Amino acid sequence: INSLAISKDGKILAAGGDESILLFDMKTYENIGTLSGYSDFISCLDFMPTHSDPYFLAGGSFDMSMLVWSNPSSKPKKSSIL
C-alpha cells in the first residue's frame, strides 16, 4: 500500500498499491471493490466530494497517469498523462 484516502463522510477507505485501488467499507472492514487501469504503483489518492457525488475519487500513478472515478463502481471517467 502506497497511499490511502478516506471519504469525507468516513464510510469508504481507498488503498492504492500495485496497479489498483482497493475500496473498503469502514464500518464492516470488508473489501467492497477494486479500481484498476494503472500500469504502475499508485502514488496518491484523494476523495473530492461534489454536490451530486460524495465519492468522487482521483488517483495518480508512477506510470504518469491520473484516473478519476465519479462512482467507485464505475470505469475511470478521465485518463490523462501528467
pLDDT in tens, 47-81: 988 777 788 899 999 998 889 887 665 566 555 55
pLDDT at 31 over 80: yes
Integer Cα distance of 46 and 69 in angstroms: 11
Handedness of CA 32, 34, 51, 48 (dihedral sign): positive
Residues forming a β-bridge with 20 = 36
Which residue type, as a one-letter code, is found at position 50? T
